[in-house]
Structure 1
Amino acid sequence: MKKEGSRGFPLALTAVIVILALIAGAVMLFKDTAPPVVTISPDGPELGKATQVTVAAEDSGSGLKSLDVAIIQKGKRTVIATQTFPDGTMQAGETIDPAKGEIAEGEFTVEITARDASIYPFGAAGVTTVQKNYVLDATPPRISVQSHTINLNQGGSGLMVYTLSEPVAQTGIRVGERFFPGYLQPAGDNTYYCMFAMPWDTPPASFKPLIEATDKAGNSATRAFSYHANARQFRKDRINLSDSFFETTIPEFQGLVPNTGSLLDQYLYINREVRKQNRDKLIELGRQTSAVMLWSGVFARLPNAANRARFADSRDYYYQGKIVDQQTHLGLDLASLKHAPVPAGNTGTIVFADFLGIYGNVVVIDHGLGLQSVYAHLSSMEVTAGQSVSRGDIVGHTGITGLAGGDHLHYEINVSGTPVQPIEWWDPSWIQNNIASKLQ
């Protein structure tokens, strides 16, 4: 006869049941031996009052059981949030907001403790504690204006000198949608120089320049300053287009223009879309600048040259007696002898020497602080990018490349990519009153 258990079950069957129960228990015990994963962001270490700390916890095994958030500051540990979770919670998070006032300015540590629902061994394996150190800076930078009242002409330039109470991530002067960066000077006293413009398309009533500063913690400050803005009137000009001009000019833009439509269609694409692309490139080059002034004194003018198109001329383009386009001429056109040598306006570094769409062959010289001079429509270029030049050095020769109707030099002065009135930079009195006096 077979042996039976106390309730009539065969002993072998009882043993099997016990073994299965032990296996099931072992599976439950060992199925989750990995603790929760915890992340804390941002990386820091500097935080502003408006910057929140985000905590994320995840456990893909038995799920999360609880999440504790603590702040450690000046030797004191304070739990500011505790969460417990129902079964099956795999992900959870918490946000720490410095604006609530639970954290004082200065150094502090975020400590996160996450527990999962595992039982091996007795829950000890299912705990993760993570710490991250931060510095809370809730005070925006203080801006101190050093320059006296700035006199600006519509379309002209200005220089602002100011100091900040701390090193910053970004600073400069904002004029509407345009931003002119300020550049930290090497004296070590947090002094910034900022070249900026009263743009040609911004009349005095719309001109509201503000110094901006944002520190590394994200705190921002703005400050107005004293200035006097002078309105200027700009000329209107008429450009007559012809098929012969299209046939001469458009082939130079091969590869830049869709090879479809009429000659007029292709020309208008150049005058609108390629022009915008070229302007964007000059803005990009305006950020490739020295943080210190490279120039000194007045700028050199193309010798013995007559003024043709003026700065900020509003141009109406006519074809077969009808207006087909309107653009603004953002430089001076200077005409001298054919292939006349072109001198560098002032000391600086070549940041571009290549073909640039409507400008043809172009040389761009950086003079520091975002101030750059542009020499366009050149027949030849005598310099290369990275080369240093002095005032009067020959950078190229006049020509008819790009959208030029005759041999001449298109000359621009740009401030952080925004075109300004070049004539100011040829005037020693203007240089003294508006630039040199600010630096004394």
Structure 2
Amino acid sequence: MKKLWILILLLIAGAAGFVYFSPMFEKTPPSIQIESNGFTNLKKPLKVILKDESGIKYYRVTMIAGGVVSELATLTDPAMGKEVVLKINLPKTNAKQIKINIAAVDNSKWHFFAGNEAKKSIILQVDTTAPLTEIINNSYAIGNGGSAAAVVKVSDENLKDKYILVNGKYRFNLTPFVKKNYYVALIAWPVKEKTFDAELVAEDMAGNIVKEHIPYYWRKYRYPKAKIKISDKFINSVAKRVLEKMDIPIPNDPVEIFKKVNETVRAMNEKEIHDLTDKVYEDKISYFSIARFNPLPGSAVRAYFGEQRTYYYKGEKISNAIHKGIDLAKVKRAKIYSSNYGKVIAEKYIGIYGNTLIVYHKLGLYTLYGHTSVFKVKVGDKIRRGQVIARTGSTGAVFGDHLHFGVYVQGYAVNPIEWMDPRWIKLNVTNVINGAKRIINK
């Protein structure tokens, strides 16, 4: 009899151990993940992800709105699998707030074969109204490769994002201006783009999006074309030097050496410059003042912005590029002046541009000074108008001493000639911003 009781106890212990340790009786409830920021416009489905190692066999989703309970989805099916993705359509309601309840049960035999149950709830703020937008003032026209200004109004109590989108792909951030809900931006027409379109885009936390066209007339600039012969001397003494300085392997073929510099290195350099010049640092501005840029007084223009360059080696076309600045020449190691107040954000060697200085002037506007021989300022320095900031040189992918002067708006190269013309600045930038300020303050 004693042996029988021992056997029974062993069997009970074995069964208990099997139940406790067997995967069939796992005790972890399903995980419930709800992809939401706490807002809904009732248009976008609510995504819910259910996961469990033993598989999901049941789920139920309900909504409580204005005290009324609605069943949104339910299913019992042990073969649903270890991961179930639900996209729950939310019904229309006048309630400003709704509660979503989710329950899920797995295939475990735990709880007397009932399985493990998980429950999760989320409260969503209902917002079906899109942000309000208004174009307050903008430049009359913009040229290909050029710049323009815009002042807008965007209001929404749950505003998530607002910006100007050019050609559906170039984003320009807006800076708060003068009063609440008003914003200002400088924008650009990237030189490689044949057409131009600008939209004010605003989105709220619930996913309501509004787009408003900003009217600009087009100015079509005709940029020069240049055929440039590349010599062995340039390849051996200039192109190779750039690759060596950047620690890039040098090809054996002279054409490949030049292409490596003009295409691969140029792309790297332009990406770096974009990343250095794409930010707007002000939290808010109440005015914007800028004088004409004249970094090398008394100099001669050697090459213009937008110049479409085709390179030839021994009579064969080997590469091309678009010049994204203006080349100014004077005397060797000529003084380079700051035309406006600003802050130095980079002074470094940037491949084809050589020793390069970049200065920030507010509202996403930057100036670049390339091929310099000496820096007179350092990163973080605040510079004043008329200050000597560098000297010209021949560093980078050039032979002769000159200044490559570039202007950038939120990361995109624009025509410096515009910013060297006081009349253009007044008509297209300062008058637009000041005129908007008067409208806002009425």
Give yes or no for TM over 0.5: yes
Aligned to 1:7: none
Q: Distance in 1 between matches of 2:320 and 2:20?
A: 77
Deviations 1:145-193 (A, max 9, x none): 1115622223211001111122644432322264132323154522121
Shift of 1:335: 0.7
Q: Deviations over 1:261-313 (max 9, x none)?
A: 22332122101111111111122122233235696232331111111101111
Within 2, Cα distance between the matches of 1:29 and 1:434?
A: 78
For 1:182 and 1:120, the matched residues in 2 are separated by 55
Unpaired runs of 5+ in structure 1?
Answer: 1-10
Equivalent-residue separation in structure 1 for 2:242 and 2:16 (angstroms):
79
Partner of residue 30 from structure 2, selected from 37, 47, 68: 37
The answer as to whether partners of 2:66 and 2:95 remain within 8 angstroms in 1 is: no
Q: Is the 8 A contact 2:35 2:47 kept in 1?
A: yes
Tell me the residue number matched to 1:300.
293
**1:372 paired residue among 356, 366, 374:** 366
Partner amino acid, structure 2, of 1:300? F
Over the aligned positions, Cα root-mean-square deviation in angstroms equals: 3.0
**1:101 aligns to 2:91 (yes or no):** yes
What does the per-residue CA deviation read over 1:336-371, in whole Å, with 9 as the maximum and x for residues that have no partner? 121111112322222211000110011111222221
- CA deviations 1:31-50 (Å, max 9, x no partner) are 64725223222252234555
Superposed displacement of residue 239, structure 1: 2.1
Question: Shift of residue 108 of structure 1?
Answer: 2.4
Residue-by-residue CA offset, 1:377-397 (whole Å, 9 max, x unaligned): 000112222222222222211
Q: For residues 257 and 157 of structure 1, what CA distance do their matches in structure 2 show?
A: 35
- 1:217 maps onto 2:206 in alignment: yes
Bigger CA radius of gyration: 1
Shift of 1:327: 1.5
Query: Is 1:248 matched with 2:237?
Result: yes
Aligned to 1:336: 330
By how many angstroms is 1:121 displaced?
Answer: 5.5
Q: What is the correspondence of 1:49-198 to structure 2 with a 5 Å cutoff?
A: 49=42, 51-60=44-53, 64-86=56-78, 91=82, 93=84, 95-98=86-89, 100-102=90-92, 106-116=96-106, 126-148=116-138, 150-166=140-156, 168-176=159-167, 178-185=169-176, 187-198=178-189
The answer to whether the 8 A contact 1:106-1:137 is kept is yes
Aligned pairs (5 A) from 1:350-389: 350-389=344-383
C-alpha displacement at 1:434, in angstroms? 1.0
Task: Between 266-275 and 128-137, report the one with greater CA deviation.
Answer: 128-137
Q: How many angstroms apart in 2 are the aligned matches of 1:66 and 1:315?
A: 66
Render the CA deviation track for 1:106-134: whole Å, top value 9, x for unaligned.
33222112234667656788332211233
Residues 230 and 33 (structure 1 numbering): CA distance in 2 closer, same or farther, change over 3 Å?
closer
How many angstroms apart in 1 are the aligned matches of 2:215 and 2:266?
Answer: 35
Give, in whole Å, the separation in 1 of the partners of 2:26 and 2:236: 77
Query: Is the alpha carbon distance of 1:253 and 1:381 closer, same or farther for their aligned partners in structure 2, counting shifts above 3 Å?
Result: farther
Q: TM-score, normalised on structure 1? A: 0.86
Partner amino acid, structure 2, of 1:55: V
Structure 2 unaligned segments of length 5 or more: list them. 436-442
Q: Across the two proteins, how many residue pairs are aligned to each other?
A: 425
1:264 aligned onto 2:255: yes
For 2:308, the equivalent position in structure 1 comes to: 314
Distance 1:59 1:315 in 2: 61
User: Which whole-Å CA distance do the structure 2 matches of 1:201 and 1:118 have between them?
Assistant: 61
Find the counterpart in structure 2 of residue 408 from structure 1: 402
| Paired letter, 2:291 | V
SS at match of 1:147: strand
In the other structure, the counterpart of 1:236 is: 225
Normalising to structure 2: TM-score of the pair?
A: 0.85
Range moving further from structure 2, 126-135 or 394-403: 126-135
Distance change >3 Å, CA 104–CA 406, structure 1 → 2: farther
CA distance in 1, matches of 2:47, 2:336: 58
1:121 to 1:196, Cα distance in 2 relative to 1, 3 A: closer
Taking the aligned partners of 1:239 and 1:111, their CA distance within structure 2 comes to 69
Does structure 1 conserve the Cα–Cα contact (< 8 Å) formed by 2:146 and 2:414? yes
